[in-house]
Chain A
């Protein structure tokens, strides 16, 4: 959870001058939604809630991507350049390479389920919070 929860009012004062998103009639009634009912994206982008969401998302997906690509490329490169090693028979005629390949299936399942779980616990609640705070229908 974020420590620095800001009320929408404070955020407006901070960004009104520099960003120029004030409405014509009543600056105090300014909100995350403009008079046409469209979300004020530039303002939302600056909130702590959005930054937290962004950070939580990227700190999961980029390292995970690096991880599965590394594991896949290891399998591929071993198959191409360490033929004798992956040809080692393990169970009957099933060799290490086939098992490493099947291992990729397992890591794929683990990462998929891990992400689904992470998204449910860490991303979706934050999205909901952000939607409530900005008053924008998700």
Chain B
């Protein structure tokens, strides 16, 4: 593998971008005086701004590098990710965004504990948030490592590990300095750049092939060892009954998990009211649709012009498809730009995630469980910053362990966790009056626990050549993605635990308040 581009040029494009965004973060950080500023940017963003930032949260390394790479490597089966990501927005729009905005303040725990006994539920919500964010961060860190390894042509495992650690530290710095406002602005800048970038590349590619998607795909089949079969389902999944189930399981996790991610949920708090929350999801849907259409073109474009084998051999593996394609069509300069944008993408998403995790620990665990609601705001923010550092370090370690896996696939595990722990609980608490504390705890821990156990004993962790620990075999669960089992399980847990436990008449007033607030917006925080 020859050096892709000129490392010095690549690095300088990078450095410029990092400095610009750090400046933005720094400028807005001066106003980070209250907890509301730090966690929710003082709820000051408009629906449109927030919509772009919201899509920014999702146009992550996983989407850009992982999905285009998935399509470049597996054709049709990679395309499933694009579809799942788009459709998932409807869950956020129809079921979650407005009710959440009207009942919560900073974290998922605010909503889940609204009409329940505070301490156990907040602790549970925080645990779930930390676990989900950790998995999601691992994926981003692995993506960052692969990307930089490609840019600097570092192929040794140790060199890549060092790069992941460096990148991780820069990201934590963003959160420490910027809080939600800085993070949101980085998201907005990056989302616009990323959209421009993929749109330009797609238009260029389409132009090159006479504006025929079919022609791109035709040539793509010539550079994939499966030939035309890569355009049909089954290149990655679908060879056995079990792998077909795995495909369905993945699809379910995608569609139900995305709008249940803590950092996406938290994004609904940065707008002043529910109708702005709705507007931001509408905006996000548009940018998503454009973006994921482009991933289709870029994925098949990379297969056509770079070739699946060359992508697989590059440092970073499948995740390198988009940068390699950029180098192929635009040389070192375009590679530098695309990589810088991809890097910014990872940076911004990790910042959002770290923020969600640290907010959840500081606000739910420290302020409400340990200090029983009497925490001094300044100390709470300090705890949040400290948590950000700890979460950052843990995910750097995880990212090093997961280096080389397709990041979109890693993200799908975080999605399964999010859908299992959060979705059932949020829907029950907003729409089911009878739901109680016991039910809440069971659906959070039942979903989270079953999902974690199934991941640990799946082929992802051990027993296969592509596992994180390929040399040992303790896998007994056959599916790579546990969503098909753990998501229904959490709904069932929440349901059974509720109907077999006592009603909580003392919570009736809070339940009435929650329903009225969630649906009408009356009394919601303004």
Contact = CB atoms under 8 A, between A and B. Distances in A.
Nearest to B237: A80
A57 B275 CA distance: 14
Interface stretch (B75-83, B312-320, B367-375): B75-83
Contact of A80 (B95, B221, B233): B233
Contacts of B522: 39, 41, 44, 127, 130-131, 134, 136, 138
Given A39-B523, A54-B519, A87-B233, A116 B90 contact: no
Interface in A69-103: 69, 72-73, 75-77, 79-81, 83, 86-87, 91-95, 97-98, 101-102
A95 B217 CA distance: 11
A65 B83 contact: no
A104 to B, nearest CB: 5
A54 B513 CA distance: 14
A105 interface: yes
B152 to A, nearest CB: 36
B285 A79 contact: no
B228 interface: yes
* Tier of interface size on chain A: 35 or more
Interface string B210-240: 0011110110010000001001111001100
Interface stretch (B20-28, B37-45, B244-252): B244-252
B520 A87 contact: no
Contacts of B136: none
Contact of A98 (B76, B247, B275, B285): B76
Main secondary structure of the interface of B (DSSP, over half): helix
Contacts of B76: 79, 97-98
Contacts of A80: 233, 237-238, 244-245, 247-248
B244 A98 contact: no
B217 A92 contact: yes
* Tier of interface size on chain B: 35 or more
B248 A76 contact: yes
A72 to B, nearest CB: 5
A112 B79 contact: no
B290 to A, nearest CB: 10
Contacts of A29: none
B244 A127 contact: no
A53 interface: yes
Contacts of A116: 278-279, 282
Given A83-B232, A92-B218, A124-B275, A98 B248 contact: no
Contacts of B519: 50, 53-54, 57
Interface string B93-125: 111000000000000000000000000000000
Contacts of A112: 89-90, 93, 281-282, 285
B278 A76 contact: no
Residue from A64, A101, A111 whose CB has the most chain B CB atoms within 10 Å:
A101
Contacts of B218: 92-93
B509 A42 contact: yes
Nearest to B515: A45
A77 B248 contact: yes
B251 A72 contact: yes
Given A50-B516, A112-B89, A112-B282, A94 B83 contact: no
Interface of A: 38-39, 41-42, 44-45, 50, 53-54, 57-58, 60-61, 64-65, 68-69, 72-73, 75-77, 79-81, 83, 86-87, 91-95, 97-98, 101-102, 104-105, 107-109, 111-113, 115-116, 119, 124, 127, 130-131, 134, 136-138
24 contacts: A41-B515, A41-B523, A58-B431, A65-B90, A72-B83, A72-B251, A73-B251, A77-B248, A80-B238, A87-B232, A93-B214, A93-B218, A93-B228, A95-B232, A97-B233, A105-B293, A109-B286, A109-B289, A112-B89, A115-B94, A119-B275, A124-B275, A130-B522, A138-B273
